[in-house]
Structure 1
Amino acid sequence: MFDAQDKTATCPVHAPSDHPAIPKAKTGVLIANLGTPDHYSYWPMRRYLNEFLSDRRVIDYSPWLWQPLLQLVILSKRPFTSGEAYKSIWNEDKGESPLMTITRDQTEKLAKVLQDKHGDEIVVDFCMRYGNPSTKSKVRKMTEAGCTRILFFPLYPHYAGATSATANDQFFRALMEETWQPSARTVEPYFENPTYIEALAQSVEKAYAEAEEKPEILVVSYHGMPQRYLKQGDPYHCQCQKTTRLLKERLGWDDTQITTTFQSVFGPEEWLRPYTVEHVAKLAEEGKKRIAVMAPAFSADCIETLEEINEEIKESFEEAGGEEFLYIPCLNDDDAHIKALSEIIETNLQGWVG
């Protein structure tokens, strides 16, 4: 998104002639998303899954118990099945996952909005918590470009230890390795931001207007987490419920037209319920022939939406007797989404830029 080799770097005033040139001070905006494997073949998938599933924020079991199971059993099989899932959605033209393509597009649009207003005072880039481009590499690139301040923005509307917190952890670890450490801020969750809710509502209205027949109910599916995390104080479940309520109120609907579910269950524990894959089947069994599904917790379409929702969950609905399944895409680089994200960034930059 920007050139790390700043051509305007100069020697400080009154410094000796052999003093290293220092770039003009800038403010960096670093967008962060979950991550993606470099390819869907076995070894790139294994490296990506190993990094992801070794994160104690994601799987908090004792490493003495978890790592042997992960290394000897799970990572000998799962890269094949996950690789097939990624292959089914892979952007072959660009040689990357849709998440990578969409995050880059979002970043380029945000950079234009911010740089049109602030000029070269702002540099905008993106990183991934797992895989490439790494958080560490992008923090280093920003400091080399002269960023004395960095606003770190995990693109998760809802806070969860396994998403927002681990992204922030990685950012802080990267800062620890910088000789000249920039000032830093992180963006708080934006699950109730009015412009974000408006963008969600517009995406629903557009999808319903274009549908041949109006869906009977909207299933708002969020990524799941173990029930235990909720009881330990993670606010994710409550924030998801509030997003659904605010969306319902903005659309002017009642409770019969919208419902909240959770997807992507992993492991033997009880997770947040109801499970999306089971609930859509139940809706079909109850006589609902047409449903829509959206995933507001994801800022960009990815494996959990393009493959899990639009293939596995759709199949569950249709096998139970459902007929019309409408998937409403994530906000991605839609203009209303970029407006919401840029407004959130501007709010968090107050006091740093004019």
Structure 2
Amino acid sequence: MLDKTTTATCPAHAPADHPKIKAEKVGILLANLGTPDDYSYWPMRRYLNEFLSDKRVIDYPRWKWQPLLQLIILSKRPFSSGEAYKSIWNHDKGESPLMTITKDQTAKMAAAMEERYGDQVIVDFCMRYGNPSTKSIVREMVAAGCQKILFVPLYPQYAGATSGTANDQFFRALMDEKWQPAARTIAPYFDQPAYIEALARSVEEAYAKAEKRPDILVVSYHGMPKRYLMEGDPYHCQCQKTTRLLRERLGWDETQITTTFQSVFGPEEWLRPYTVEHVADLARQGKKNIAVIAPAFSADCIETLEEINEEICESFEHAGGEEFVYIPCLNDDSDHIAALATVIEDNLKGWLD
């Protein structure tokens, strides 16, 4: 992250008692989903309460949802979720893998932006849920002289429950600023050539290392209720296009790759096929060696390190599967940072050239 300490001076021709103003900067704010501060009960409960109270995530009427959430779900789920987080926790640094990876991504992006723009920019990150909060980092950026902020949700495909709610929180943070900076948000980058290239290279590297070539690549995206698609959310279509572009870049036919959706929650029908069921079906159909990749996640997290590597892997093996290869998220890989840098540079045009 670039240094936020900049010198404040009184504007030229202003009276001596005029407030000092920091030199103008452009802020680049990376945003990820979030993480609990710890895997014990109360930090988990606070995190889950913020996440599951978001109307973009669960859009049931408050009078119906909140009693169920507060009295039943949040009395039990922090224990099970805490155990899941504990199994993947970065104990050396006292934080979740998502936090560690997001810090690494931010440091590498800051270095790339400094090389490109010098001291004109400040790069930092925030979380939609948990810490560091979007509001706190926006406040720091404005205090450091950022009169323009580019907000970068780290979600390749747009969904209301990911990019949409991250943008909502960013705009809410701007509402509290006396001197509101100019603001931009990036469009989803699910079909950007550099992003598809980074995905394809990660697949090629994983296949080259595998003891047996996988029979099929399962491209698993985070799920959402099917109703959201019917109401106009473009996520499902953007996921399908990402898979198609990846397949075309790899030069494969349709029998070598399939799209699925994971993390089903609640009684509604979600986008299908469900990953946990589909991998078992593949094993029963004779596809004993599979690979799984999760392009909707920019960083490995509970849904990849625990859900895919444990629950989904176990479903495959219990159905007779033999070789299960998980292909990590792009994380702070140099190809990923370069792809994101290209998206950011495109969105800074007119502000910085």
TM-score over 0.5 for the alignment? yes
CA displacement, residues 45-64 of structure 1 (integer Å, 9 cap, x when unaligned)? 00000000000000000000
Do the aligned partners of 1:221 and 1:293 also contact (CA within 8 Å) in 2?
yes
- In the other structure, the counterpart of 2:128 is 129
The aligned counterpart of 1:294 is: 293
CA distance in 2 between partners of 1:124 and 1:261 (Å): 34
Query: What is the CA distance between 1:152 and its match in structure 2?
Result: 0.1
Corresponding position of 2:57: 58
1:24-63 matches, cutoff 5 A: 24-63=23-62
Aligned to 1:223: 222
Aligned to 1:328: 327
- TM-superposition CA deviations, 1:174-196 (whole Å, max 9, x none): 00000000000000000000000
* Secondary structure of the structure 2 residue equivalent to 1:129: strand
Residue matched to 2:302:
303
How many Å separate the matches in 2 of 1:235 and 1:209? 34
1:132-147 matches, within 5 Å, as 132-147=131-146
Task: Quote the residue 1:209 is aligned against.
Answer: 208
Q: CA deviation at 1:4?
A: 3.6
Q: 1:3 & 1:327 partners in 2: Cα distance?
A: 37
Aligned 8 A contact 1:3 1:145 in 2 = no
CA deviation map 1:278-303 (0-9, x unaligned):
00000001111100000000000000
Q: 2:165 corresponds to which residue?
A: 166
Matches of 1:2 and 1:57, distance apart in 2: 32
Q: 1:3, 1:286 → 2: CA distance?
A: 55
Amino acid at match of 1:286: Q
Alpha carbons 1:248, 1:254 under 8 Å: kept: yes
Matches of 1:349 and 1:3, distance apart in 2: 20
- Whole-angstrom distance in 1 between the partners of 2:220 and 2:128: 23
SS at match of 2:221: strand
Question: How many positions carry a matched residue from both structures?
Answer: 353
Counterpart CA distance in 2 for 1:10 and 1:161 is 41
Q: State the Cα distance separating 1:14 from its structure 2 match.
A: 1.2
Q: TM-score, normalised on structure 2?
A: 0.99
SS in 1 for 2:137: helix
- Give the equivalent residue in structure 1 for 2:92: 93
Provide the aligned C-alpha RMSD in A.
Answer: 0.6
> 2:28, 2:287 → 1: CA distance?
45
Q: Is the 8 A contact 1:5 1:144 kept in 2?
A: no
Shift in Å, 1:319: 0.5
Amino acid at match of 1:350: K
Measure how far apart 1:18 and its partner are: 2.2
- Report SS of the residue matched to 2:9: coil
SS state of the match for residue 219, structure 2?
strand
Structure 1: gaps spanning 5 or more residues: none
Whether 1:20 aligns to 2:19 is yes
Partner of 1:9: 8
Deviation per CA, 1:203-255, whole angstroms, max 9, x where unpaired?
A: 00000001111100000000000000000010000000000000000000001
| Distance in 1, Cα, partners of 2:279 & 2:8 | 58
The DSSP-based 3-state class of the residue aligned with 2:14 is coil
* Structure 2 counterpart of 1:177: 176
Contact 1:289/1:322 (<8 A) preserved? yes
Q: Indicate whether 1:74 and 2:103 are aligned.
A: no
Distance in structure 1 (CA, Å) of the matches to 2:342 and 2:2 = 21
For residues 82 and 19 of structure 2, the distance between their equivalents in structure 1, rounded to whole angstroms, comes to 47
Provide the rounded CA distance (Å) in 1 between the counterparts of 2:345 and 2:233: 27
Mapped to 2, the partners of 1:113 and 1:245 lie a distance apart of 30
How big is each residue's C-alpha offset from its partner over 1:31-88, in whole Å with a ceiling of 9 and x where there is no partner?
0000000000000000000000000000000000100000000000000000000000
**Counterpart amino acid of residue 127 in structure 2:** M
Give the letter aligned to residue 333 of structure 1.
D
Long gaps (5+) in structure 2? none
Q: CA deviation at 1:5?
A: 3.5
- Determine helix, strand or coil for the equivalent of 1:105: helix
Tell me if structure 1 keeps the 8 A contact 2:4–2:122. Answer: no
CA distance in 1, matches of 2:3, 2:287: 53
Residue type at the aligned position of 2:42: W
Whole-Å Cα distance in 1 between the matches of residues 325 and 299 of structure 2? 17
What is the correspondence of 1:99-118 to structure 2 with a 5 Å cutoff?
Answer: 99-118=98-117
How many percent identity over aligned positions?
77
Q: State how far apart, in whole Å, the 2-side matches of 1:11 and 1:312 are.
A: 59
Give me the whole-angstrom Cα distance separating, in 2, the residues matched to 1:186 and 1:54: 24
What one-letter code is carried by the residue in structure 2 that aligns with 1:139? V
The residue type equivalent to 1:182 in the other structure is P
